[in-house]
Chain A
C-alpha cells in the first residue's frame, strides 16, 4: 500500500504551475474540461496505486 506524498515535492513550483496554465491557453471551456480529464486519467495511471488515488481524491474533496 502506497502513501500519498502531501509534502512539498515540486522544486520549481512557479514554473510547473505556469506549464499547467499555459496548456489551457487558447482553449474553450469544453476543450479545457476535456484536457483536464485526459490529464487526470494520465496522472492516475502513473500513480497506479488505488490507495494513493483514494487519498488524493480525499485531498481534492477539501
Chain B
C-alpha cells in the first residue's frame, strides 16, 4: 500500500519539477518563484510536517490575490491566470494535501506544459515532451491500480516500455496528422524584434549582445568565409539618429519577377519563429521572392523589401543574382546627398585632414581605420551631435559610428550613399552547410551608388569581428536544432504534400504487376525469416523444462490425450491414467519451482 502511494507521490512531484523546468526555459527565472513553494510543500509533506494552519493559509491566499491583480493587466492574461491558480494550489498543498490534489497538479502541470509550447521552441521541448508524456500515461495508469498492489521493479520496466512504444507511435502520428493551410481565427502577434524603425548612433550594439540564433542562411555555394545579411536601409540622418526614407512607398509592387537570368543562385532562409522581423533579411539583392503565406512589398528603386502584413511564421526562398542592371539615374536620388547642417562644418575640417589618393572612398576608409579605434561608444555630450563627438573627441566607436562617418564623409564628396543595417556572420556550420546568424552579429555598413548599382563599403576595422571557434559538438548540436526547426517546428501542409508527392510514384510503381509480385515475395521471405529466427530462439534460449513439457505434450497427443483448456497439468496426467505421466508432472514441478536439476526429467523423457 505504501509503495503504490509513494509512486503516486513521485508522479505529481515530477510533474511539478517539469513544469518548473518548462517555465525556466521559456519565461525566465521569475516563474521559479511561483513554483518554489510547491517544491517546498512537497518536501515538507515528505518529512510529514504540517506547515501552515488553515487560517494562516487563507490570509496568505488573500495577499496573493491582491498581488496578482496588477499582474492580470499584463500582456499574457491566460498565463497569469494559470500562475495564480498554481499559487493557490501551492497554498492548498501547504495547508492540507488530499488525493484529489494529485489530479489538480497533473491537470495544471499539463496546462502549463501546453502553454509553454507558445514560447518554447528549442529542442529541449522534445525531451520535456517525452518525459511529460510518459509521466501523464503513468499517472493515468496508477489511477486504476488499487492501493494495496505493489509495483515491483520488473513490472515498472514493462509499464514504461509500453509507454515508450506509445510515445514512438505518437511521434509517427505527428507527421501524419493533417495540416491546415488556413486559419479559422487569427491572433495578433505583438512580439517583434529586429524591427529598427530608427537607429541611434551607438544604439545598435546596446541591444544586440546575446548569442541567440536569429536565422540560418543556406547558400547554394559557399564563396566567402563571411556573409552579409541586409535587414534595413537608412537614408536621412539628423546628427544623432538615422531614419528611413519618408516616401518609401513609392514604386512599391506586390511582387517583382525578373526571369531568365543566367546567373541565378538560390538563397534559402530559415527563421526562428521566436524572433520576427518586420523587414525581410536578404543576402545581397533579391530578384525574385517566393513566399506563400503573405505578400512582400518590393521597392525596386531602393532594392528594399518589406512585409505588408506581418505573419506569424516566415519561410521563404530568395532567388538572388549578382547585381542586375537597374534603370536608375543619379538624378532620382537627391536625398542620398543630404548632410545635416549641424555636422557639416565639422566634417569639412575632417575632409581637409584626409590625404586622398586615386581611390577616394578607399582613402576615407583608410583614414577612419588609422585614426579611430574599435570599441564601445556611449554619447555623453549634449551640446554637439553624437557623430561629431565620435569623430573629434572619443575617437572610439563601433560599426554604426564608422558606417555613419563614412556615409557622411562620402556624401560631402558627392557620392550617393546610404546606411545599411543587418548582420555580418563568419560562423559557418559545415555539418549542415549553412551560416548561423546570431543577435550579436548585428552590423552596420554603407552602400554607395556607383554606375547604376549599389556597392557595399564596410569601413569598420576588419579582424575585429571575433571568429567563433565552435567545438565540433556545438556544430552538431546546432545542426540538430536546425533539423528540429526545419523538420518539426516548421513542418507544414506544404511539406506534407511534398512528402506525399515524393512517395506517390513509388506507390504507382508498386501497383504494376512485377513490383507487386516482388513485394509479395519479399513479405513471404520476411515471414519465413521471422519464423526461422523464432525457431532458433526457441532452440537456443528456452530452458530445458519447457522443452521437456513440449515433448510431454507431443507424447500424450500420440496416445490420444489432449489437454483441455483450464485443466492443470496434474489433472491432465491423472485423466490419462498413465503413471509415467504423473511422475513426469511431479518431476516437472520440482524442476520448475523447486530448483531441482533436470536429470530426473531427462530420465523420464527417455522412457517415453
Our verdict on whether A and B bind, yes or no, reads: no
